[in-house]
Structure 1
Amino acid sequence: MAAIFLFFVTIFLVYSSHLSSTDALSVNYYHQTCPTADSIVTNVMRKATMNDKTVPAALLRTHFHDCFIRGCDASVLLNSKGKNKAEKDGPPNISLHALYVIDQAKKQLEKKCPGVVSCADILALAARDAVVLSGGPTWDVPKGRKDGRISKAIDTRKLPVPTFNISQLKQSFSQRGLSLDDLVALSGGHTLGFSHCSSFQNRIHNFNKVTDVDPSMDQSFAGKLRQVCPVNNKAKNAGANLDSTPTVFDNAYYKLLLQGKSIFSSDQALLTNSRTKALVKKFAGSENVFFEAFVNSMIKMSSISGGGTEVRLDCGVVN
């Protein structure tokens, strides 16, 4: 009971620590203006996931990519216009999909509560639902984000990439007010989804002058990846699941990481620092501990201020 109490005290403190920097996000933000906002998004997400099991992984990733560029302002959802190439058309975001789910939720919310619920909040709610619908933990999402009006593809260069080492990851996360603990917990999002060969080719072909394959990778696992992703791979959709249960939110990612069966260099990098390695072992040993840490870090990341100024009526275009 004491542990549960301390967990909720921690969550409350996370809420409180971000209120001043994010225009007072509140779990009750739509209590008067659109009390069914959460349930509308959840119902849309549930139906979409029933039709396509890749939706949760896609929208969890989209939320991450949104918050890491200009803060959580839904700039990732804006369409390119004229000479301006938007974030969604930047190289790291070309593979984002299931954005239609956000559009569907927005249309329903506009019918129920016109001009009230921001696209940024819809995306944050969808990310929470993505975890829950995949068997993971739930949490109350602080709301009140506003939508941004600026989206530039060139800014996607700021996103952490699969080839980052621990120093690069630490710098990327710290620039956004996120700690090493947040880094390890949020990396657990890799328990969902799929990666194309291009994101991990560096580990299975021409790793260095001495060896073709990253020696930190389980050799049998590497052999299977090499079969799927040969040197001159031309199969557009070839790749591998991020862990052994790609549609289930669990702690398998950490267990496989300790076995040398992670996909990205950035995953393996978590074992090169004493603090992050200890956390990987901790999360591999207890799914509940991982879930608590993930919720904590998701609330923190989702509260990165985006400086948005409006509630878009259409998530793809500014008002």
Structure 2
Amino acid sequence: MIICQPPIRPKNKHLQSILASSKIRLLRLRNNNPVVAKQVVQELKNPLATLLGHYTANDENADTVAILLHGWEGSSQSTYIQLLANSLYAEGLDIYRLNLRDHGDSHHLNEDLFHSCRIEEVVHAVQDIQAQFPNKKFIMCGFSLGANFALRIASRAKEAGLTFEHVFAVSPPLIPKNSMDAIHGSKLYNKYFLKKWKRSLHIKNKLFPHIFDDQRWQQEENLERLTQMLILDHTEYSSTDDYFSGYSITPDVIRSINCPTDVITAWDDPVIPFKDFSTIDRLPQIKLLTTSHGGHCGFIQGWRMRSWIEDHVIKEIKK
């Protein structure tokens, strides 16, 4: 474990977690957002799903593409994704922001609902991305649930024919049941995620009204029970424990990762218990980086609203 001491401000874990996604931070771009302004929208079709991606080519004929993965109920437009994307673009990288199923403006592309065990369709999408640029190198950075996906993709890289110069997993839920318990135990985070998920489900129901009873789901005020309804009605899993195990980052997953990988977490993350990171083996290609403060996906360094994650990723890719 590497203990880092970036100048994290404010130190309050909830403020850090809120600021991670706050649109206030986008003021940093001052209406100069080339990653969005120059993006090309793609529908990546594979046998399992169609996923929505946003590709931005760099003016400098970049030799590296950064694939960025958002968190649960985030999107390619999430603040932390846009800011990291623009920082990497300024360093000369191409950017590919990939939406998971039913995230961003992609609800119409697939009838079946998103759930976190749908890893193979994301692996297919990353294969399609890399196939478009056979002469380029790739890094991948995921946040929260996107970090969980990034680790699982990296563990499947060899068999899938994928290559990564470096993978970054920021605030990943390693043992999802523990993360769900932490969210459910907090009125603030339970309400936040429940509101966002219900909004997403309502959009889905308007498009495909026959797949679930929107009124029944909208009336549910317990995130844990709503999760159970999804699992029992729309997945092959017979219990929440089986479902959470399906996307846990086990020691076997970690041992299957062969590319340089940084797993980054804050001790004060309010939804990812720090004790879960004891499952990460000490392997030469895996680094566990920790900070005392930073909340969930925050790591903000003062009033400039720049995240230490941006600085760390840039430093690593320049090595």
The TM tier, using the shorter chain, reads: 0.3 to 0.5
More helix by share: 1
More strand by share: 2
TM-score norm. by structure 2 comes to 0.33
Q: Which has the larger radius of gyration?
A: 1
TM-score norm. by structure 1 comes to 0.33
